[in-house]
Amino acid sequence: GCYLGIGRAIDVLAQITEQKIQQARHANPLTQLPGNVPIQQHLTQLLNTHREALICYIDIDNFKPFNDCYDYAKGDEALLRLAQCLGRHGDPHGFLGHIGGDDFILVLRCDDWRQRLQRLQNDFQSECRQLYRSEHLCAGGYSAEDRQGRQQHFGLLSLSLGVVHLHPEACAHLDADQIAALLTQAKQQAKAIVGDSLAVIDTRNWLTAQVRSA
């Protein structure tokens, strides 16, 4: 919000063009969302600026059996629908990235983050209803092979959300790799719950545990 100086319009346009080139270079080819390099850069920026944020790891439950049952074109459509849902319920001051496969990152910096995530899950459920065959909707799922090759019943697609609540006082004690580890831990906690789920790791509690163990 402070006046810093003046610059030439041509220089601003050159910077914008360069940023777009970099974004395209590291974008996911399916969703065109920022990939792993800009995700890592954004997490590092959050830590360096000591900003409070909600970092969400989004994973689709039962995505592999859905692909096996319906084919990869339908799987890609599910991913695109999720990307659209994330765009609708994200934060204008946040960030959205696609790690790969059915894994996404959403950064929120708003007070109503729980409500946004609830709406995201509901919206995705509604979007996916258009992808299933009627008999699978009625049965609440479908049969497919599990990773061991055994036939098993799987529920309809749902979202597991692993969230790290980043607080400014914890930023100096964390790096991007540690944030990624906490996100994975939160996602695993969410995945242990059947259906749409949310698990939150608070970095204040994490920091307190680190101090006690030191």
Phi, psi (rounded to 5 degrees) for 85:
-60, -40
Tell me the pTM: 0.86
SS3 state of residue 149 = coil
> Are 98 and 52 within 8 A, CB to CB?
no
Residue 15 pLDDT more than 80? Answer: yes
Q: What is the model's pLDDT at position 197?
A: 98
Closest CA to 43 of 166, 210, 185, 208: 166
Q: Give the model's confidence band at 21: pLDDT under 50 very low, under 70 low, under 90 confident, else very high.
A: low
Calculate what percentage of the chain has a pLDDT beyond 90. Answer: 72
One-letter amino acid at 169 equals: E
Calculate what percentage of the chain has a pLDDT beyond 70. Answer: 97
Residue 158 pLDDT more than 80? Answer: yes
The string of pLDDT tens digits covering residues 31-77 is: 999 999 999 999 999 999 998 999 999 999 999 999 999 999 999 99
How do beta strands 141-145 and 151-155 pair?
antiparallel
Residue located via tokens 């395209």? 24
> Are 51 and 168 within 8 A, CB to CB?
yes
> Are 96 and 84 within 8 A, CB to CB?
no
Residue 126 pLDDT more than 80? Answer: yes
CA distance 205 to 200: 11
CA distance 40 to 97: 10
Q: What is the model's pLDDT at position 31?
A: 94
The string of pLDDT tens digits covering residues 181-197 is: 999 999 999 999 999 99
How do beta strands 158-166 and 53-61 pair?
antiparallel
Q: Give the model's confidence band at 213: pLDDT under 50 very low, under 70 low, under 90 confident, else very high.
A: confident
Q: What is the model's pLDDT at position 59?
A: 97
Mean pLDDT of 198-205: 96
> Are 51 and 166 within 8 A, CB to CB?
yes
Distance of CA 4 to the CA centre of its chain: 35
